[in-house]
């Protein structure tokens, strides 16, 4: 289990869920991971539920905007990447062929953010921290531990993200499908890219949460009304993972194995 007080720019640092039923989602994830909710007012009677584990922030659950519901956008766990300047990163994303869906805006005193769709249409968010650095607890059971990009063209993805965030990548030879481990600008492991695409699935970033036992946690997802989409399966001799869906339809993955600090 790793505690964090800051993140190197270009590093995944936060995740939040947008869902049409916030209360039901909070109940599901607190039962699954032992999280506790700290509801923070957002205005207009809405709250942003900071989810805590052992008193540390691990993610959040928020209501899905009505326009997304009307457009048929599914619930989703979002991947945030820390940057020095949200405005400058969004401008660079445009130059590299990305599409900015939300220009940089302030989130009270917490930070500044924006929403980007990469050239292959996978969404991610950039986070310029102020009072909120992101997750203060990562890489352990019940905490964010991995972010994985699924796109058809890994070379194009490597070029886009490399130029945007200074990432490099190296192949993971144990994978039957092309799979590349991402390194941030300091050389630390920072997620992965895969060309494996489920039938009908759009390009996307997949959020992983840690588990002491992926099989037991996957079974618990079913007990709580969720669905198993893949696994549990072994990843070489390194880990055991599964891909699951919560009762509201948000997809995430579970990982058990060795965690980095």
Q: How far apart are CA 252 and CA 74, in angstroms?
A: 13
Distances 59 to 87, 133, 142, 200 between C-alpha atoms, Å: 23, 12, 10, 28
Task: Determine the pLDDT at residue 72.
Answer: 77
Residue 29 has which token pair?
């994830």
What mean pLDDT comes out for the span 101-106? 93
In this structure, the number of other CB atoms found within 10 A of the CB of residue 8 comes to 13
Reported confidence tier of residue 162, pLDDT bands at 50, 70, 90: very high
pLDDT digits (tens, 9 = 90+) for 165-191: 999 999 887 777 889 999 998 888 989
- The mean predicted confidence, pLDDT, of the chain is 93
Between vectors from CA 88 to CA 84 and to CA 89, what angle results, nearest 5°?
75
Helix 154-165 vs helix 86-95: angle between axes, to the nearest 10 degrees?
A: 140
Are the CB atoms for 189 and 183 separated by under 8 Å? Answer: yes
Residue spans of beta strands (DSSP E) within 20-143: 36-43, 46-53, 56-63, 76-82, 99-107, 111-117, 123-129, 137-138
The CATH code belonging to domain 2-129 is: 3.10.180.10
What mean pLDDT comes out for the span 55-70? 89
In this structure, the number of other CB atoms found within 10 A of the CB of residue 246 comes to 23
- Equal fold, 2-129 vs 138-257: yes
Task: Determine the pLDDT at residue 1.
Answer: 64
Q: What is the domain partition of the chain in residue ranges?
A: 2-129, 138-257
Are the CB atoms for 205 and 124 separated by under 8 Å? Answer: yes
The CATH code belonging to domain 138-257 is: 3.10.180.10
Q: Over 80: is that where the pLDDT of 56 sits?
A: yes
Most confident of 27-31, 65-69, 233-237: 27-31
Task: Determine the pLDDT at residue 216.
Answer: 97
């Amino acid at each position: 289990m790793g505690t964090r007080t800051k993140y190197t720019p270009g590093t995944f640092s936060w995740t939040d869920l947008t869902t049409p039923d916030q209360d039901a989602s909070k109940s599901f994830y607190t039962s699954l991971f032992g999280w506790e909710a700290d509801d923070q007012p957002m205005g207009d009677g809405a709250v942003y539920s900071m989810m805590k584990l052992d008193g540390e922030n691990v993610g959040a659950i928020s209501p899905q905007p009505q326009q997304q519901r009307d457009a048929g956008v599914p619930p989703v766990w979002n991947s945030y990447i820390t940057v020095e300047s949200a405005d400058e990163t969004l401008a660079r994303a445009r130059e590299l062929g990305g599409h900015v869906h939300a220009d940089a805006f302030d989130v009270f005193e917490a930070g500044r953010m924006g929403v980007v769709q990469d050239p292959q249409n996978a969404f991610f968010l950039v986070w310029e921290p102020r009072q909120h650095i992101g997750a203060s607890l990562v890489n352990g059971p019940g905490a964010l531990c991995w972010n994985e990009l699924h796109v058809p063209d890994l070379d194009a993805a490597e070029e886009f993200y490399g130029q945007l965030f200074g990432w490099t990548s190296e192949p993971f030879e144990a994978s039957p499908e092309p799979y590349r481990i991402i390194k941030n600008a300091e050389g630390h492991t920072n997620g992965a890219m895969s060309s494996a695409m489920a039938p009908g699935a759009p390009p996307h970033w997949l959020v992983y949460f840690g588990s002491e036992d992926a099989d037991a946690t996957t079974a618990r997802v079913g007990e709580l009304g969720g669905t198993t989409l893949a696994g549990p399966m072994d990843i070489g001799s390194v880990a055991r993972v599964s891909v699951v869906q919560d009762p509201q339809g948000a997809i995430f993955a579970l990982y058990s194995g060795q965690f980095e600090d």
